[in-house]
Chain A
Amino acid sequence: GEDVEQSLFLSVREGDSSVINCTYTDSSSTYLYWYKQEPGAGLQLLTYIFSNMDMKQDQRLTVLLNKKDKHLSLRIADTQTGDSAIYFCAETLPTGKLIFGQGTTLQVKP
């Protein structure tokens, strides 16, 4: 089946690292994504990783992909209050269908 699961809430202190986790069930996914949704806005692509990669780093963001365990994570270093948002994990299947997780609300406390 096709399913993407995330925990619903994460709270961290400003300056700490945040790690948001995601599990997926379909091993044929081609791309996996992290989208960010700020209050009252649509989703914006934050970063993505191709399924043949294990890790991708982009400034404060690190994406780790464990294909064996079907686990994707997003690490945000030095988390800032501006990082408070909902983060969605998503996967694209070879058919082109995009499956989203439920979203993780990240709360950053000053």
Chain B
Amino acid sequence: NAGVTQTPKFRVLKTGQSMTLLCAQDMNHEYMYWYRQDPGMGLRLIHYSVGEGTTAKGEVPDGYNVSRLKKQNFLLGLESAAPSQTSVYFCASSLQTGADTGELFFGEGSRLTVL
């Protein structure tokens, strides 16, 4: 059971470089999310998607873009990386919020360092 898979798991970037994090889920979930986790700040929602072809902003969307061209994939892009984007990024998916317990299934995280 793959669940939620994130790639890459580790990446080091220089300021100004761009990159894309890929999240894939095989549970046919409608909702997908990108969070960042920073010490003492918990998880903060960057962007989310409530279905194929849709995206929406979360709490901290600036500097990031997302796309959900296929239901199973949710991509997070950094166009011009900044040191403030050094963090651990988590992708999550859920069947459908409001219709069930709303449990989120998380990937293992992607650690990004921007020098």
Bound-state Cα–Cα, A96 to B45, Å:
13
- Let me know if B90 and A42 touch, CB within 8 A: yes
Of residues A42, A94, A100, which shows the largest number of chain B Cβ atoms within 10 Å of its Cβ? A42
- Let me know if B102 and A98 touch, CB within 8 A: yes
Given A42-B107, A42-B108, verify A100-B43 contact (CB < 8 Å): yes
Bound-state Cα–Cα, A88 to B90, Å:
14
**Number of interface residues, chain B, beta carbon within 8 A:** 21
Bound-state Cα–Cα, A30 to B100, Å:
11
- Which secondary structure dominates where chain B touches chain A? loop
B107's closest neighbor in chain A, by CB? A42
Name A48's contact: one of B41, B43, B98, B103 (CB within 8 Å). Answer: B103
Bound-state Cα–Cα, A97 to B50, Å:
11
Given A100-B42, A100-B43, verify A42-B106 contact (CB < 8 Å): yes
- Let me know if B97 and A98 touch, CB within 8 A: yes
**Number of interface residues, chain A, beta carbon within 8 A:** 23
- Let me know if B43 and A94 touch, CB within 8 A: no
- Let me know if B42 and A31 touch, CB within 8 A: no
- Let me know if A98 and B104 touch, CB within 8 A: yes
Q: Give residues 40-93 of B contacting A (CB, 8 Å).
A: 40-43, 45, 50, 90, 92
